[in-house]
Amino acid sequence: MSQRKDRREFISVSVDFPNHPKLMQLEEDVIPLAGWLAVCAWIYCGQNLTDGEFAPLAVRRIAGVDKQIEKHLLSVGLWHAHGHGCPKCPQPGERMYVSHDYLEHQRAKADAEALREKRRRAGAAGAASRWSRATSGLAEPPPSDGMGDPKQMAFAMAGATDGAWQTDGKDMPKEEEDKKKTKSSSRRRSPERPLPESWKPIARHKAVAASLGLDVDREARQFRLHAEAKDRRQRDWHKAFDLWLEKSLDWGGAAIPSQRQSTDPADPDVVLGRDNWQLPAPPDGVQAGTRAYTEWAKKTSADHFAERRRRAAEVLAERKSA
């Protein structure tokens, strides 16, 4: 039998344990839970090197079963409580249990500690041997297949294939070199860069903003503040602003007038003032969904500000006739 390479701690469980005579004394629906709880007790003891003694609460938490199940294991003698009368098993401490015949089937604490110490010493000896060879100038033994260091072979093969195209010792023809450079550079993506100081909305942005009932100047300012505050980088800032405008309605940015003071005497904000420029509150049903709010904002903002322009024109006409 080959030596087991897995160095984790293990317990021993016989293949016929599910049919253990003591488990068979229990009700059929209790047997799986009771058997699992018994195994979890062995796991706990093996991990903590307790020689079979354990706190029932800790084991129940591992198994995830009800306290009633432990009473079944006590009743059939797979577990013993403090003060038990089994002559084969040691007495556990108060409020502690012991697993019946634990040391007949599982590794004792002394044996487990001895094995751990043996492994520790073997590891230390191996490390010392490797360190001794390194400091004495002795090389590590070559791989058993005689192929040499795999990493060195990989580098050698890569170097060989790099020069495989031109094997006569001459330089690569200039036209081929230029073609290679052009091909590689065409695949190169344009670099990301911060928002330029000179950037401003273009005609298509203004058209989109007008169709959505957005103030393009305000959106541009918010866009710049966001980009600078977050230190954003983009390859195409015009396309980034396109996306910003599309998302602006979802963010509640519809129809918010510019924060700068207008110098146009016919501007509704100049004629009527800025006290009542806000949109009315949307109905309760509209507030329930983003899509409904977006559609409502488009229509309401257009009507609202068209009415402000109409009223401003009336006020200006009245002033001229007065």
Measured over the CA atoms of residue 261, residue 266, residue 272 and residue 278, the dihedral's sign is negative
Which band of pLDDT confidence, cut at 50, 70 and 90, is reported for residue 146? very low
Strands 79-81 and 53-54: unpaired
For residue 301, give the nearest of 249, 250, 247 by alpha carbon.
Answer: 249
Instruction: Tell me what pLDDT residue 176 has.
Output: 60
**Residues of the chain above pLDDT 90, percent:** 33
pLDDT over threshold 70, residue 185: no
Cα distance between residue 180 and residue 162, in whole Å = 14
Mean pLDDT score of the chain: 77
Q: Which tens digit of pLDDT belongs to each residue from 56-112? A: 999 999 999 999 999 999 999 999 999 999 999 999 999 999 999 999 999 898 888
Residue 321 has pLDDT above 60, yes or no: yes
Amino acid at 72: H
pLDDT at 205: 85
- Reply yes or no on whether the pLDDT at 115 is more than 50: yes
Report the distance separating Cα 247 and Cα 139, nearest Å.
65
pLDDT surpassing 70 at residue 209: yes
% of residues, the chain, pLDDT over 70: 66
Residue 136: is its pLDDT beyond 90?
Answer: no
Q: In Å, what is the CA distance from 276 to each residue of 5, 229, 271, 279, 305? A: 80, 31, 12, 8, 11
What local confidence, expressed as pLDDT, does residue 14 receive? 92
CA–CA dist 106, 50 (Å, integer): 11
CB 54 within 8 A of CB 45: yes
pLDDT in tens, 156-171: 444 444 444 444 555 5
Q: What are the start-end ranges of the H helices in the chain? A: 31-48, 56-63, 67-76, 102-105, 109-136, 150-162, 174-186, 203-212, 216-229, 237-248, 268-272, 284-287, 290-321
Residue 119 has pLDDT above 70, yes or no: yes
pLDDT at 305: 74
Per the CB < 8 A criterion, the answer to whether 9 and 112 are in contact is yes
Q: Domain map of the chain by residue range?
A: 17-105, 203-321
Closest to 223 (Cα-Cα) out of 205, 210, 208, 241 = 241
The answer for residues whose C-beta is within 8 angstroms of residue 168's C-beta and 6 or more apart is none
Neighbours of 244 (CB within 10 A): 20
Report whether pLDDT(257) > 60: no
- At residue 139 the predicted structure's pLDDT band, cuts being 50, 70 and 90, is low
Q: In this predicted structure, what is the pLDDT of residue 164?
A: 44
Distance CA 245, CA 222 (A): 11
Q: 216 or 271, which is more confident?
A: 216
pLDDT at 9: 81
